[in-house]
A and B are shown apart, each in its own frame.
Chain A
Amino acid sequence: MDKAPILSLRGLTKRFGPVLAADHIDLDLGRGEVLALLGENGAGKTTLMNMLFGQYLPDAGSVHLWDEAGRERELPQGQPQAAIDARIGMVHQHFTLAENLSVLDSVLLGTEPFWRPFRNRRPAREKLLELMESSGLRVPLEARIGDLSVGERQRVEILKALYRDVRVLVLDEPTAVLTPQEAESLFAAVRGMVDDGLSVIFISHKLREVLAFSDRIAVLRHGKKAGEMATSEADAEIIIRMMVGEDHSAPERVAGKPGEVVLRLSGVSVAPGKEMRPLREVGFTLRSGEIIGIAGVSGNGQTALARLLSGLIQPQSGTVEVAGQPRKLTPKTALRAGIGRIPEDRHQDGVVGDLSVAENLVLERLDAPDVSKAGFLRQRAIAEHARELCRDYDVRGPGIEAEAKLLSGGNIQKLILARVLENAPQIILANQPTRGLDFRAAAEVSRRLLEARARGAGVILISEDLDEVLSLADRIFVMHDGHLRETTSRDRAEIGYMMAGQTGPGAAA
């Protein structure tokens, strides 16, 4: 490291029950440097940052800081305020904004004394306007956070950090919710600030971005630091090997063999709801034996589409035809019509955490003869069935009688896959099926979807991960602002422009 040091994590360790989430991790950051922190989910990135920011108390290790004059001191642990006082700021992957506040209030939250009866906000407002000017991150100051788009909210988060004159800024998966173009402009803004002396820790699992944007890369795996190198010396192959620990090559895409139409939507519109964007005149057909991929930044109508096909909401207009028959979908009729649903939020919609694994596995077919008889549960048959499915789908956990909430995220997803796929549904709705899963679990999900396609199911894959869509889908659609458009292109940039609602680089910004 040739730059003057600003922050150093030494031997940070955190244990959650039996899991060693962070195991003696050392990390150094130089002034005016962009350090990329890479790793699969569960590798320890978030745990590490939570220790830095005083959210978790480390079991061992320390954090050191250098001030402007180059003097070193240790950061007190377990105190969010200490990190703030040391001018370290973080933009979380899940924004920490209260939706009922204005942008100005959100930025000022925590900076003003509580008991002052009058607030003088003019200096604050002026400082913020200056910051917006210099960083190029603009947001209307009086708007309510709840009314802002995801990209705007992220700008508020960064402005919040800048307003506090941070010296170190941590960006946790900042592009997960942005279009490629939005991401580009974010990087340009951050680059400008780095040139002015800001130091940045950039957490991501998108290799391309990391290689393009960082100065140095550190890779975490299973709570340990697996390696570190200058970005100029790195290439994708080496990094993936560090992250995964084994040779990894993307599966070759094999085209499906589409059969007859199993699902047709025409002119379907859905009114906006609570935390749900509308759908506008959406139409597509799905054939058996194909996967259609729906790309797009989340919050553009995907939720409405998924809820519609799951039977949770009804369309305002338009028709839904399953196997040629117009249908009114409710969760029950959707299941009966052979639609298997893998929900976006598996903890919220997928499982009942306080019921057992076995009970969750039969939740969608309680009236089946092997599950119940005259209203009484056939407990032995249910247990037998659960053991079988857990074996076939490799669901691991403390046992079939244990509460489902005790399973890890990957195993919960496998439980849901098992429940959905055992009925051999003709249509499968997979909404963000690999989000938050580690590499191995994600690969297992992809394999199962391809397997379902091979036996003749039609699969709708909704995903923010463009690489996933490109590698799995036979046909690609892009969702933007409630509109769904098909594209024959497989070019990332071109799809990226569609995700931003533009037709190409030439279109007006």
Chain B
Amino acid sequence: MMDILNIFLTDSFWAASLRIASPLIFGVLGALLCERAGVLNLGIEGIFVVGAMTGWMAVWMGAGLWTGVLVAALSGALFGLFHAILTVPLGLSQHVSGLGITLFATSLASFTYRTALPQVSSPPRIEPFRALDIPVLSELPFLGPVLFQQTALTWLALLMVGVVWWVMDRTALGVAIKAVGDSPDAVNAQGLSVMKLRIGAVVAGSALMALGGAFLTMSAFDAFFFGMVNGRGWICIALVIFASWRPGKALLGALLFGMFDALQVRLQTEAGALVPGQVFLMMPYILSIIALVVVARKAEYPRALLVPWRKGQR
């Protein structure tokens, strides 16, 4: 028991929590933007894969790390645009379109990777983002390793929480996005374009999701391999409900999740002899389901979520 309590006192545990949370922060923020505008984006899992692959490949082909991040965001935006066109002007089922995007994006990323690198047996590596190592601050006890020895992408994730919060809570654009996810008629009646707002939100949200993928290949690891996303996208879809579609709570949700994941890894080493390791591997998924069940009844879904809107429909 003492051992478990000790885990919470180590800085490496908290640093790991934040590291694990980082891609999820991107993903939950992305899902938040889409869903606030009224569009469920089940393409998220595939967009993670695409972001992971393209960002990594850009760097592998010689681009700078930040260029890679940009490439990942742009390719995510592209798939987001695809999903947006299918679901917003065409009004197709958001469930089916999203799953289609995930399957399409995953297979396209895998095909491209295999085609570009057919021969390799062990995946080629890139030089990923390094810990920032800010002078003085990173020397601080505890806070140093936890906060100031993270990579730039983790900081970008934290920054994005602020940006998304600012946009949603403090700008007219955010008000319009929230309105379009609640009542597109209200937005249309004011001469604003429902289509543009929704498409824009989905594209921006998808770009964020892709950054979550890019974090995996450019910060957490240094290579791309199949199956590396491993349901992280779906977890974000559960977390955004848990977060009641609020950026602050999204950060909290992702951090809680990161903590549990970091904890299970450590428990695995502590208690690995007693319980099969898989029990711990299951924990993140089980936890996501429990989180979903706990909040499900009182979750206030954006009222127009999943509802296609057509102009001038009688």
Which residues of A are in contact with B by a Cβ distance under 8 Å?
Answer: 16, 50, 53, 55-56, 80-81, 83-84, 90, 92, 94, 96-101, 105-106, 108-119
Contact A55 B171 (CB under 8 A): no
Tell me which residues across on chain A come within 8 A of B172, comparing CB atoms.
108-109, 112-114, 116, 119
Tell me which residues across on chain B come within 8 A of A16, comparing CB atoms.
314
In the assembled complex, how far is the CB of residue B175 from the closest CB belonging to chain A, in whole angstroms?
A: 5
Contact B173 A101 (CB under 8 A): no
Contact B182 A99 (CB under 8 A): yes
Option from A56, A92, A98, A117 in Cβ contact (under 8 Å) with B187: A98
Contact B183 A96 (CB under 8 A): yes
Given A56-B312, A106-B186, A109-B179; 14 other pairs, CB 8 A cutoff: A16-B314, A80-B190, A97-B183, A98-B186, A99-B182, A100-B303, A101-B175, A101-B178, A101-B182, A108-B175, A109-B175, A109-B186, A114-B176, A119-B171
Q: Quick one: CB contact mask for B28-66 with A, threshold 8 Å, 1 for yes?
A: 000000000000000000000000000000000000000
Tell me which residues across on chain A come within 8 A of B311, comparing CB atoms.
55
Residue of B173, B186, B314 most packed against chain A (CB within 10 A): B186
Tell me which residues across on chain B come within 8 A of A90, comparing CB atoms.
189
Contact B303 A84 (CB under 8 A): no
Asked if B170 is at the interface of the complex by the 8 Å CB criterion, the answer is yes
Contact A98 B179 (CB under 8 A): yes
Contact A98 B178 (CB under 8 A): yes
Q: Using CB atoms, name the residue of chain A closest to B178.
A: A100
Tell me which residues across on chain B come within 8 A of A118, comparing CB atoms.
170
Q: Offer 27 A-B interface pairs, CB within 8 angstroms, sorted by A.
A: A53-B189, A55-B311, A80-B188, A84-B190, A90-B189, A96-B185, A98-B180, A98-B183, A99-B303, A100-B182, A101-B178, A101-B179, A109-B186, A110-B190, A110-B192, A111-B190, A112-B172, A113-B172, A114-B172, A114-B173, A115-B171, A115-B173, A116-B171, A116-B172, A117-B166, A117-B171, A118-B170
Cα distance A109–B191 when bound, in Å? 10
Residue of B171, B180, B181 most packed against chain A (CB within 10 A): B171
Cα distance A118–B172 when bound, in Å? 9
Option from A100, A110, A112 in Cβ contact (under 8 Å) with B191: A110
Q: Using CB atoms, name the residue of chain B closest to A164.
A: B190
In the assembled complex, how far is the CB of residue A194 from the closest CB belonging to chain B, in whole angstroms?
A: 22
Cα distance A81–B178 when bound, in Å? 20
Tell me which residues across on chain A come within 8 A of B166, comparing CB atoms.
117
Within residues 272 to 314 of chain B, which ones have a CB less than 8 A from any CB in chain A? 302-303, 311-312, 314
Within residues 170 to 217 of chain B, which ones have a CB less than 8 A from any CB in chain A? 170-173, 175-176, 178-183, 185-192
Cα distance A146–B88 when bound, in Å? 25
Given contacts A112-B172, A116-B171, contact A81 B187 (CB under 8 A): no
Q: Using CB atoms, name the residue of chain A closest to B190.
A: A110
Contact A92 B189 (CB under 8 A): yes
Tell me which residues across on chain B come within 8 A of A109, comparing CB atoms.
172, 175-176, 179, 186-187, 190, 192
Contact A96 B191 (CB under 8 A): no
Residue of A80, A81, A111 most packed against chain B (CB within 10 A): A80
In the assembled complex, how far is the CB of residue A137 from the closest CB belonging to chain B, in whole angstroms?
A: 18
In the assembled complex, how far is the CB of residue A408 from the closest CB belonging to chain B, in whole angstroms?
A: 11
